[in-house]
Structure 1
């Protein structure tokens, strides 16, 4: 990442850079904290030479009005009319998709597919050979430990 020097940020604050460079500096500020710090230092040094707003609320209102005007002028009337006239086909509308999903659900329910799935799921859940249950390794270790402790207790009891 290319960083800019304090002098370059000072020129930016004084508005002594071309438009392309200004855009590059502004996009760089979004990603670089180090350069943001240099920019803030340059602004604080030249704070006295920056223009002062006499009425901040009217300035904000003017900016918002200009933005609204630009947005309105950027919209093409022909495109707006075409957007109103262009209607989606029935198969691309949300209601069609909901009806299709509901019909598929009813079909699967009444045909017994969900019942078959439930039977299959319960068969997979329950092990086939419940009688041949093997103890886990942990249970085996615990059983051996208790057996060893019982044998130690018996030896102690025989000594007394």
Structure 2
């Protein structure tokens, strides 16, 4: 949907467009809330006052009187009853399957089989964490480097003390 900008709506309001364009924009205005908001910002106080001269005080009551009487439609209880019947039917079906499985010994066999299955499953070795191994190797290398520097310093001190 193509939206019109503020300037286009200003031209529309002042009727400075072709008849076809005015009709097109009017139809768009009925369907687009965004453009309706833009158009409504163009209406100023003077226009509201001048429109008040044409609208009578009993305008609202006249419009309501001319509207046809609307019937209030009550929701049918049958629809709710149908939904209840469907839900009850599903409940009965699930309960029936559960009872059949219980009497057939499915759950008892399941309790016996699960420990056997869990014992037979082999857990694969965890994959090594490359980043953790890399950081460990850096720490080890740094520690050994510092340790070697300390040993060199100790060896020099010993040689100096022995002399």
Which category describes the TM-score, using the shorter chain as reference length?
A: 0.3 to 0.5
When normalised by structure 1's length, the TM-score is: 0.48
Bigger Cα Rg: 2
When normalised by structure 2's length, the TM-score is: 0.47
RCO comparison, higher one (Cα < 8 Å, 6+) = 1
